[in-house]
Structure 1
Amino acid sequence: MVEVSGDGFPVTAWSARLGLRLPVVNAPMGAVAGGRLAAAVTAAGGLGMIGMGSAGCAAALTRELDAMGAITPFGIGLVDWVLDAHPDLLDTALAAAPTLLSVSFGTDLSWAARAADAGILTATQVYSAVDARRAADAGIDVLVARGSEGGGHGDPRLPMRTLLEQVLAAVSVPVLAAGGITSAADVAAALAAGASGVWLGTRLAVCPESLLPPPDRAALLAAGDTVVTRAFDVALGLPWPARFPARVLRNDLTDRWDGHEDTLAADPAARAAAAAAIATGDPRSAPIDAGTGIGAITTAAPAATVLHELCRGAAQEFSRAGGGHG
């Protein structure tokens, strides 16, 4: 059930329970969602998340927590296989006492019990009804149905609306919708379909509070095409499970190696050359995560402006339907 608050924002049972003005969580995008973005999202009424991606470590998390400052509520998002290499990262995250801890891209859900024992709510991304039931059975508090439209790493098999429908039918815990959400109409559609909130990524990546350098933001604003590939992970030797390729902006490196990852993996010289090109940070060769809605994002604005416009627009949809939507 979605209601419209007195200040003109949509409210779900889940967002109300967490004390959020907006049913929005910023996706914990590695190297994008740092402390400044998390603070801005929370200050705007959503749930700000700090993301630790492939390069995550305890020192980096501590730095972003310091940048965020003493603001609540907030969340932290981690990558399962990174925790294997940096077990102190989970310790640091738990010690920070976030409102929500998300760990995704793995099969070991034992971290959830540690979080629950510390009084921390838990979340994880799911990509099928089977994933959803397994996560719910492990006691995860909220699931993120991340569809194939989403930027960054994820399972590309199911579009968000299909996945959301299947996950909602499989479990009774709250489910957030993720993948290709860029407009007020997208937010309204996700909430109307039964999502308890939206998990917003690319739309916030271009905000001035994100960690992205200006050339990457400019590339996002000028882009219109994405590709799902493992080329960057192969070039860099990152142990991402093959199930989770990344949706990124198409560039010179993807044009050369997308679809030829096995050839790249078997050629040390080619991998070294690709890694060197990536290391320059040039958008023509480095990965820039982006969802399929990137073509609709042509201007940047502060996170609060983006969130309020999206949510007020979504609320207007429900108001036109009579003030609420079942």
Structure 2
Amino acid sequence: MRTWLTERFGLTVPLVSAPMAGVSAGRLAAAVSAAGALGMIGVSSATPASWIEAEAAVAARGGRPYGIGLMAWALPGNPGQFEAVLAARPPLVSVSFGPYQRYVEELRQAGVTVVTQAGTTDEARAAEQAGVDAVVARGSEAGGHGRAEVGTLPLLQSVLDAVRIPVLAAGGIATARGLAAVLAAGAEGAWVGTAFMGCAETALSGPAAARVLAATETDTAYGRVFDVAQRLDWPAEYGGRALRNTFFDRWAGREAELAADEEAAELIAAARRDGDFDTACVYAGEAVGMVRERRTAADVVAGFAEAATLLGRFAPPGG
């Protein structure tokens, strides 16, 4: 399975573990990279530069390529994050969700491969014009934040026709079958988050991980409830897909009211501290129903490597 992604970073599996804030720190990134894919560190809006420095050192310790994901809308208010990433010089940096264009050239001049996530074909075209090295076609099935306007498969087909830079596929890809499908379509690899949420190396708490393992494919919901409740300044066009819970169901469709309810804000803050996930959120994608047991990152990557067998069914005789 040789693609632009495997050749660029010396991988054996064309796979990136998505930068999930609160889930993927240095330990998970290092484990994914050691297994032959490319692991990433997820950075939240409030993450201090010192944390990035420490986790980047963990991810880099094994000598394998890794990446860091930043949220463009948060960087003006926390410029130390970008400075820390520049100092770490990871092989791959993702800057998405907001005015990312201003950071592209400086990263590239530092020798970093730059990608951004796109939820529409127009966003992918804009990414190409901004000079990124590759674009992630992120469908509405994906967990965490992003657009929910187009599913992965139609988006991937459209983006592949619209741009000339390498394209990675994200959203709903959790097994070798999903990886084989997007590679066959023309993607250079898959960008996968939820499939790694059951890994022993994640930063998820025990109660949050238990919720993930117990969830089914219909247990996620998309919206801005959790962002509004936590007073996070995510741009309105980027909602989040998370495990549905009592708090979400209570407030869905009442976001304006929620924005003025300080008691609800205090409630969700306390729930995060206490590990109460009937109220606090766990971001996850529609593929969560296929995450059924605790596994190592190496086991997950090995499972994705079986895509080669699936794609081999179409090889010519003797090929």
Question: Normalization by structure 2: what TM-score?
Answer: 0.95
1:249 aligns with 243
- State the Cα deviation string for residues 47-104 of structure 1 (Å, max 9, x = none): 1111102332202212212332422211111111221111011011011011011111
- Mean CA deviation greater in 237-246 or 291-300: 291-300
2:11 aligns with 20
Which of the numbers 91, 113, 126 marks the counterpart of 1:121?
113
1:268 aligns with 262
The Cα of 1:270 is off from its aligned counterpart by: 3.3
Distance in 2 (CA, whole Å) between partners of 1:14 and 1:69 is 19
Distance in 1 (CA, whole Å) between partners of 2:316 and 2:23 is 36
- Residue 179 (structure 2) pairs with residue 187 (structure 1): yes
- State the Cα deviation string for residues 24-57 of structure 1 (Å, max 9, x = none): 0110000111000110111011111111023322
Secondary structure of the structure 2 residue equivalent to 1:299:
coil
1:172 aligns with 164
Distance in 2 (CA, whole Å) between partners of 1:308 and 1:72 is 17
The Cα of 1:17 is off from its aligned counterpart by: 3.0
Distance in 2 (CA, whole Å) between partners of 1:55 and 1:318 is 42
- Residue 292 (structure 2) pairs with residue 298 (structure 1): yes
- Residue 33 (structure 2) pairs with residue 42 (structure 1): yes
1:316 aligns with 309
The Cα of 1:271 is off from its aligned counterpart by: 3.0
Structure 1 runs of 4+ with >4 Å offset: none
1:59 maps to amino acid: S
1:72 aligns with 64
Distance in 2 (CA, whole Å) between partners of 1:300 and 1:195 is 29
Distance in 1 (CA, whole Å) between partners of 2:100 and 2:301 is 33
Is contact 2:271–2:279 with CA below 8 Å preserved after alignment? Answer: yes
Secondary structure of the structure 1 residue equivalent to 2:242:
strand
Structure 1 residues 323 and 256: CA distance shift in structure 2, 3 A: farther
- Mean CA deviation greater in 218-227 or 267-276: 267-276
- State the Cα deviation string for residues 246-290 of structure 1 (Å, max 9, x = none): 100011111111221111113333333343334433121111011
- Residue 142 (structure 2) pairs with residue 144 (structure 1): no
The Cα of 1:129 is off from its aligned counterpart by: 1.5
The Cα of 1:130 is off from its aligned counterpart by: 1.1
Q: Count residues in correspondence.
A: 314
Is contact 1:221–1:297 with CA below 8 Å preserved after alignment? Answer: yes
2:49 maps to amino acid: A
Which of the numbers 185, 192, 214 marks the counterpart of 2:206?
214
Distance in 2 (CA, whole Å) between partners of 1:88 and 1:282 is 31
2:234 aligns with 240
Structure 1 residues 281 and 323: CA distance shift in structure 2, 3 A: farther
Distance in 1 (CA, whole Å) between partners of 2:155 and 2:277 is 31
**What root-mean-square deviation, in Å, do the aligned CA atoms of Structure 1 and Structure 2 show?**
1.5
1:53 aligns with 44
Is contact 2:198–2:292 with CA below 8 Å preserved after alignment? Answer: no
Distance in 2 (CA, whole Å) between partners of 1:182 and 1:323 is 27
1:211 maps to amino acid: A
Which of the numbers 156, 172, 181 marks the counterpart of 2:148?
156
Which of the numbers 226, 247, 253 marks the counterpart of 1:259?
253
Distance in 2 (CA, whole Å) between partners of 1:233 and 1:278 is 13
Distance in 2 (CA, whole Å) between partners of 1:61 and 1:13 is 27
1:137 maps to amino acid: Q
- State the Cα deviation string for residues 196-236 of structure 1 (Å, max 9, x = none): 00001011011001110111111100012001121111111
Distance in 1 (CA, whole Å) between partners of 2:86 and 2:14 is 24
Is contact 1:206–1:220 with CA below 8 Å preserved after alignment? Answer: yes
Secondary structure of the structure 1 residue equivalent to 2:116:
strand
Distance in 1 (CA, whole Å) between partners of 2:263 and 2:276 is 20
Which of the numbers 276, 281, 295 marks the counterpart of 1:287?
281
Which of the numbers 108, 122, 135 marks the counterpart of 2:127?
135
Answer 1 or 2: higher relative contact order, Cα 8 Å, separation at least 6: 1
Structure 1 residues 266 and 119: CA distance shift in structure 2, 3 A: same
The Cα of 1:108 is off from its aligned counterpart by: 3.8
Which consecutive residues of structure 1, in runs of 5 or more, have no partner in the other structure?
A: 1-9
2:228 maps to amino acid: V
Distance in 2 (CA, whole Å) between partners of 1:305 and 1:251 is 30
Secondary structure of the structure 1 residue equivalent to 2:101:
coil
1:320 maps to amino acid: R
Distance in 1 (CA, whole Å) between partners of 2:192 and 2:266 is 34
